[in-house]
Amino acid sequence: MTATVFIVGPRASGKTTIGRALARALGYDFVDTDRHLLESAGRTVAEIVAEEGWEGFRQRESAALRAVTRPATVVATGGGMVLAAANRQFMREHGIVLYLAAPAAVLAARLHADPETAQRPTLTGRPIAEEMAEVLAAREALYREVAHQVLDGTAEPQAVVEQALAALREMR
């Protein structure tokens, strides 16, 4: 199998960590849409949002998704990638989508431990625990809709990679 594997989920769900490890296990390339977007724009997410608004950022995010999609690649997507119906359709049609599910409290704890504020600007201006609960409530159905398989994002990274490998074997 040489399909593109897309990893979706909210910020701090482990998409980049799991994506890199899964790519190594599969012998695939790895790309992170946020990193691609930042490198091509030459600005941080916070700077793009300040200058172009969230709509401008989301347009760049969609373009990044299409630019990095290729066979034998694991793609870690930005947390809001699923907001656009066209992105959800594109991922379903061009690969296998894995959703890293984790409760809002776990995500908030991870963000408190490693906030990366320039990389992860607040979406609501509210405390992170409240924001994560609100964002997850708004997006959970979209993550599940696009996913071919839901993985336990609270497990240790190697266990999540094993879940992903098992899911990919079943889909062959």
Domains and CATH numbers, the chain: 4-163 (3.40.50.300)
Question: What residues contact residue 18 under an 8 Å CB cut-off, 6+ apart?
Answer: 7, 76, 100, 151, 153, 157, 160, 161, 164
- Tokens at 90, concatenated: 């594109």
Q: Is the pLDDT of residue 94 over 70?
A: yes
Q: pLDDT class for 86, splitting at 50, 70, 90?
A: very high
Check residue 129 and give its pLDDT.
Answer: 81
Please report which confidence band the pLDDT of residue 117 belongs to, taking 50, 70 and 90 as the band edges. Answer: very low
Q: Quick one: pLDDT at residue 98?
A: 98
Measured torsion, CA atoms of residues 94, 82, 119, 114, in degrees rounded to the nearest 10: -100
Distance of CA 145 to the CA centre of its chain: 14
For residue 29, give the amino acid letter. D
The yes-or-no verdict on residue 137 having pLDDT over 60 is yes
Confidence band of 68 (pLDDT split at 50, 70, 90): very high
β-bridge mates for residue 6, sequence order: 75, 97
